[in-house]
Structure 1
Amino acid sequence: MRARVEVFAAIRRDARVEGLSIRALAFRHGVHRRTVRAALESAEPPERKTPVRVSPKLEPFKPLIDAMLLGDVSAPRKQRHTARRVLARLVDEHGLDEVSYSTVRDYVRARRAEIDAEVGRHREVFVPQDHAPGAEAEVDFGDVWVILNGVKTKCQLFVFRLSHSGKAVHRVYPSCGQEAFLEGHIEAFTTIGGIPTRHIRYDNLTSAIKSVLYGKGRNRVENDRWALFRSHYGFDAFYCQPGIEGAHEKGGVEGEVGRFRRNHLSPMPVVGSLAELNEKIKAWDEADDRRRISNRLRTVGADFLTEKPLLSSLPVEVFDPGLVLTPRVDRSSMITVRMAKYSVPARFINRKVRVSLRASELAVFEGRSLIAVHPRVVATGGQSVDLDHYLEVLKTKPGALPGSTALARARAAGTFTSAHEAFWAAARKTDGDAAGTRELIDVLLLHRSMDTNDVVAGLTAALAVGAVTADVVAVEARIAAARRGHPDCHPAVPSVLVGPRVVSLTQRRLADPASVIAGLPADNRSLPSVAAYDQLLKLKPPIATTTPSREQIS
């Protein structure tokens, strides 16, 4: 359009200044004489005429298409004809295979709008809304795929978004169950440092409601635990209309799910655990505070700073989002929760324990004491086994350790290190299989009270001199802890100690007197002598050489 305006202006200028004829103007500007006449008549170029495209092959079938679209007026939204379905019916039922999809699509688009207007069905009109600071938020879940431990896994992205500032909190969980739903809220409330004062908008999630009361507005029958959670944190819930009709009522979080997934989770993230992924997501959320939404003048973080003081304060007590269960410990020292097995200490066999099933982990309690914590197993029939739970049993049954599931899982997880393997092999070679395995178990028991790195350092020091005993490992582990300033260890460790920290007396005797082993000073003492003991031989009574008679004996 702009180029035509410039051409018209040039034609009018040349005609005015130079007085050129229509033919000369057409030749100079390379246009038709009709264009020159139009330019001389008006400075504004006329609108281009769009040719009316005709589809003669589709013309006989247009009444059939109209009938299909009229039938859609009373049909459910998800069972109405699409342009592709219309074309498929024309091909299958009437043999129309010479018309392209684009031809049918263009006709269906135009004709559907005309039919909707004829029957009085108009598109819904959305009214822009203004959200007060600190008053409202929106929550939703979205599917996301993650390469978890080398396996492509479907997870759920929890999104909490403040309606005013657009500040969002994201977390990835194995499922969208109630445990993840509640835990996501707690994470979001803790991150933003408060709670919206008016309400939070939701879909009709089964994690929150039992049933939708159709015909009764937005009334819902809520889950008891969800109602307790809302009461604890003091906020109201706003439930959107069921189905696609209510999607626009929380359009902010709907768009946020897609935006975050496209910008941060594409391509699929490769992580070893969901905890590792969620740590990355926290950093991404902080970086997103510097972005601007649409045409806003201020960033998300700047708007959130003005919104944060207006949020309600958090309660003093923290709500436990876990589902409480009471399974019984079987003979294998395992409990079954949601079709998955978890180990507990063997002393609780045949007793009931209390379980808090959370979104990413499972905590086991005996009374108020925490006795075990496992990452949540999502796969049906999966297991989470901790070698530490079986050590007392293995002390009496050392032969069960090599083929145990607990040892295999510890090796796979990396908690049973190469230092443990080397110590076990050396101990079995020195003391035999049973006694060597018991020494290893005593070393494994040290992990309950000492840091793993310190125990590994103790194993390395013990192996350096061939002292494969748990006592030596314990001493060297405490020295390693003292070196790094552990508060429970004695800080006075001589700084002159270099080389091996375990002293072998055999090596000490066989070493060169001029050398110093393990930081010990040179031994300048004289060799021991037995001369003093020879004096005892002079005091010894003489030994009789004759045999006494029978009378002397009697």
Structure 2
Amino acid sequence: MPAVNRVELYAAIRRDARAGVSNRALQRQHGVGYRTVVAALESAWPKERKPPPKRGSRLDQYRGVIDDWLRADLDAPRKQRHTAKRIFDRLQDEHHTTDVSYWMVREYVATRRREIRIEAGREPANTYIPQEHLPGREAEVDFGEVAIRLRGELVTCTLFSLRLSYSGKAVHRISASAGQEAFFEGHTHAFRALGGVPTGKIRYDNLKAAVASVIGFSRQRVEADRWTAFRSHYGIEAFYCQPGIQGAHEKGGVEGQIGWFRRNHLVPIPEVHSVAELNAMVDVWDEADDSRRIGSRARTVGEHFATEQPLLAPLPNESFETGRWFTPRVDRYAQIAVRMNKYSVPARMVGRQARVLLNASDLVVFDGKTEIARHERLMTKGSTRVDLDHYLEVLLRKPGALPGATALEQARASGRFTPVHDAWWAAACKAHGDADGTRALIEVLMLHRHLPHEHVVAGLATALRAGALTADAVALEARKHNETEDGGADDKTGHHPTHLGGDRARGEGETPAVRSLTERRLRAHIPTDTRPLPSVDKYDQLLACRRDPPNEGAAP
């Protein structure tokens, strides 16, 4: 019976007893025994039930022996101390135990070994000292792993978190890797979102992006050169935690923050088309988290941060380049290798060196100072990402290579090469032959460089319905869609140009015609010329002179 019901029962028994009800009548009235009535009359508060006696274990008679062996290990070399398996073997050999299992010994040794070390003063007990954090001074940084669905595929990304110790305000950034470029980009984004830099220490564990090596068991570290320059640029004072699980407790705030963020915002697993789209969602979540309270605090995170933000150090005037530069050589497949992955570049770069800026989630390829390619960074090692546009000039000379091209398959998978492209391609090959039809498709694909993707697809669909299987016809229709969306008009009355295959009613048997773009523009914008035609009489006189040549026998 629950304790609260026993309190009410005791109160009722005591009330009836004061009214003169006998003990036997109290037992019948409340449905209890003689001992309960006596206990209720003795005290208004029920006594605590005695815990059941602890059940004995077959290991009890050997506990003292095991404890003696563990105490002897205190002065033994570290590599020559008893393990649970060795203690179990000695019990069998020296004490002939047959009813004690290895798992009983292992469970006892796992708990008792540390207790003996604490009793002997060799190891402190787990005691945590409360800390006071001043506003605007301290922060903590760490990485964590998160899973997302990127274009339908489950991939693992890295979550960067910088958390201010006083207010609990945290800024997050998701990237393709935990490399140095992601480490720097996370800091830069966090400082920009916070509007300043903590004036005191920022706590880190031994991240490879910052620490080249750990010196012994001390807090001294050999830092990476770029990290030293980055710290100097922003005025960061780094504090490195101890290696292992003990160091994790020194920055428990950010450790718990990453877990809280993952459980509250990334469950269920988000489905996105790009990491940039996901980071836009993360920024919204970070702003919304300002309204939450941490633990038993009376004020929200945003209210504490409003007090802390003016105390942060101002940002430097110039930004720090967070990406890393590489100068790979373009191979014969028009690809470059960066961090064990391959990316395509325009085919004209084959055999030349390119300049590559590797960022946290993308990479940019330059030819001199001109950007020639941009790719989303690959998540796994040994992968390849190619852009069909980079091979179009080569495919014009080798149209037979297009059907089995890797770039074509990746374009289909990404949705850039649509079923409309395939349908128009098949119709063009049927009308002009495989080689000429494929060349016509490649010329259509080149239109994507100058016109929006959706307008080229709409032009393909319109041309396909009209039976216009040339690149010029597709270009005409794509430009019509482009001008229509931009507010272009077909004539001065404001009517939009007529699209092929539209809803305009046609007569029976009428075949839609693809009009000339030049003709349409001339008709729409050039007024009728009413001037008289020029006279050619003077030119007739010149022609008459040429028809009367001088006599060959005449004197000069």
TM-score when normalising by structure 2: 0.79
Q: Deviations over 1:59-90 (max 9, x none)?
A: 222124324643675799999999x9799779
Q: In 2 relative to 1, CA 121–425 (structure 1 residues): closer, same or farther, beyond 3 Å?
A: closer
Aligned-residue RMSD, C-alpha? 4.1
The amino acid that maps onto 2:127 is: V
2:333 alignment counterpart: 332
Q: 1:103 to 1:393 in 2, by over 3 A?
A: closer
Does the 8 A contact of 1:342 with 1:383 survive in 2?
Answer: yes
User: Quick one: distance in 2 between partners of 1:278 and 1:265?
Assistant: 12
Structure-2 separation of matches of 1:419 and 1:382? 28
SS at match of 1:447: helix
- Per-residue CA deviation, residues 98-157 of structure 1 (Å, 9 max, x unaligned), is 679689858964785366224463314322122222322211112333444554433322
1:181 paired with 2:183, answer yes
3-state SS, counterpart of residue 465 of structure 2: helix
The AA in structure 2 aligned to 1:406 is: A
| Residue identity opposite 2:123 in structure 1 | R
Contact 1:290 1:300 in 2 (8 A): yes
Contact 2:484 2:497 in 1 (8 A): no
Other-structure match for 1:404: 405
Task: Please list every run of 5 or more consecutive structure 2 residues that lacks an aligned counterpart in the other structure.
Answer: 524-556
Q: Which moved more, 1:308-317 or 1:179-188?
A: 308-317
Quickly say closer, same or farther: Cα 1:48–1:233, change in 2 above 3 A.
same
| Corresponding residue SS for 2:250 | helix
Distance 2:496 2:348 in 1: 43
Contact 1:139–1:202 at 8 Å: present in 2 too? Answer: yes
Q: Any conservation in 2 of the 1:138–1:162 contact (CA below 8 Å)?
A: yes
- After TM superposition, give the deviation of residue 8 of structure 1 in Å: 4.7
SS at match of 2:371: strand
Residue in 2 that maps onto 1:212: 214
Structure 1 SS opposite 2:262: helix
Count of residues paired in the alignment? 511
- Rate the CA distance shift 1:391–1:76 in 2: closer, same or farther, 3 A: farther
Alignment of 1:262-273 (within 5 A): 262-273=263-274
Deviation at 1:15, TM superposition (A): 4.5
**Counterpart residue number, 2:458:** 457
Provide the C-alpha distance between the structure 2 equivalents of 1:276 and 1:87, rounded to a whole number of angstroms: 57
C-alpha distance in structure 1 between counterparts of 2:362 and 2:28, whole Å: 83
The DSSP-based 3-state class of the residue aligned with 2:360 is coil
How far, CA to CA, are the matches of 1:115 and 1:324 in structure 2?
52
Aligned to 1:228: 229
Measure the CA separation in 1 of the matches of 2:484 and 2:10. Answer: 89
Of 471-480 and 262-271, deviating more is: 262-271
Cα contact 1:325–1:356 (8 A) shared by 2:
yes
Q: Structure 1: how far apart are the matches of 2:212 and 2:431?
A: 65
**Would the alpha carbon gap of residues 161 and 96 (structure 1) be closer, same or farther in structure 2, given more than 3 Å must change?**
farther
Whether 1:156 aligns to 2:158 is yes
Q: Retained in 1: the 8 A contact 2:330–2:354?
A: yes
Q: In the TM superposition, what is the alpha-carbon distance from 1:2 to its structure 2 partner? A: 4.6
Tell me, what secondary structure is at the counterpart of 2:185?
Answer: helix
Distance verdict in 2 for CA 1:28–1:145, change over 3 Å: same
Change (3 A) 1:241 1:490: farther
Tell me what 2:140 maps to.
138
Alignment partner of 1:143: what SS? strand
CA contact (8 A) 2:480 2:497 kept: no
Distance in 2 (alpha carbons) for counterparts of 1:74 and 1:346: 70
Which digits, 9 at most, give the CA deviation of each residue in 1:409-439, with x for residues without a partner? Answer: 2122221122322332333333333333332
Residue of structure 2 in register with 1:442 after alignment: 443
In the alignment, the residues of structure 2 paired with residue 146 and residue 500 of structure 1 have an alpha-carbon distance, to the nearest angstrom, of: 41
Q: Letter of the 1:496 partner, please give it.
A: H
The answer as to whether partners of 2:210 and 2:223 remain within 8 angstroms in 1 is yes
Map residues 306-345 of structure 1 onto 2, 5 A cutoff: 306-345=307-346
Q: Determine the structure 2 residue equivalent to 1:283.
A: 284
Q: Is the 8 A contact 1:458 1:475 kept in 2?
A: yes
> Counterpart of 1:126 in structure 2: which amino acid?
Y
- Inter-partner Cα distance in structure 2 for 1:8 and 1:237: 63
1:356 is aligned to 357
Distance 2:110 2:347 in 1: 70
Please report how far the alpha carbon of residue 351 of structure 1 lies from its aligned counterpart in structure 2 after TM superposition. 0.9
Counterpart AA for 1:433: D
- Paired letter, 2:462: A
Distance in 2 of aligned mates of 1:188 and 1:71: 53
CA distance in 2, matches of 1:147, 1:483: 36
CA contact (8 A) 1:90 1:96 kept: no
**Residue in 2 aligned with 1:168?**
170
Note the 1:414-493 alignment, pairs <5 A: 414-485=415-486
CA shift in 2, pair 1:161/1:493, >3 Å: farther
Distance in 1 (alpha carbons) for counterparts of 2:467 and 2:298: 70
User: In the superposition, relative to structure 1, how do residues 423 and 352 fare at CA in structure 2: closer, same or farther (>3 Å)?
Assistant: same
Aligned to 2:499: 500
**Cα displacement (A) at 1:176:** 1.6
Q: Equivalents in 1 of 2:285, 2:104: separation in Å?
A: 42
Residues 420 and 44 (structure 1), Cα distance of their counterparts in 2 relative to 1, 3 Å cut: closer
2:465, 2:114 → 1: CA distance?
Answer: 84
Q: Deviations over 1:311-349 (max 9, x none)?
A: 333334332322211100111111111221111111111
Cα distance in 1, alignment partners of residues 47 and 491 from structure 2: 96
Are residues 188 and 209 of structure 1, via their aligned partners in 2, closer, same or farther at CA, if it must alter by over 3 Å? same
- Distance (whole Å) between structure 1 residues aligned to residue 120 and residue 192 of structure 2: 53
Query: What is the deviation of 1:384?
Result: 0.7
Partner of 2:554: none
Query: Is the Cα–Cα contact under 8 Å of residues 364 and 370 in structure 1 kept in the other structure?
Result: yes
Preserved CA contact (<8 Å) 2:396 2:442: yes
Q: Provide the residue aligned with 1:60 in structure 2.
A: 61
Q: CA–CA distance in 1 between the matches of 2:167 and 2:79? A: 35
Q: Residue type of the partner of 2:315?
A: L
Asked if structure 2 preserves the Cα contact closer than 8 Å seen for 1:483 and 1:493, the reply is no
Q: Which amino acid aligns with 1:176?
A: A
Query: Identity across aligned pairs (percent)?
Result: 52
**Which residue pairs with 1:346 in the alignment?**
347
Distance 1:42 1:509 in 2: 105
Structure 1 spans left out of the alignment, 5+ residues: 522-554
Q: Which amino acid in structure 1 is aligned with residue 158 of structure 2?
A: Q
| 8 Å contact kept, 1:138–1:163 | yes
Amino acid of the residue matched to residue 300 of structure 2?
A: T
> Aligned equivalents of 1:137 and 1:31: distance in 2?
62
Specify the SS of the correspondent of 1:289.
helix
Distance apart, 1:40 and its partner CA: 4.9
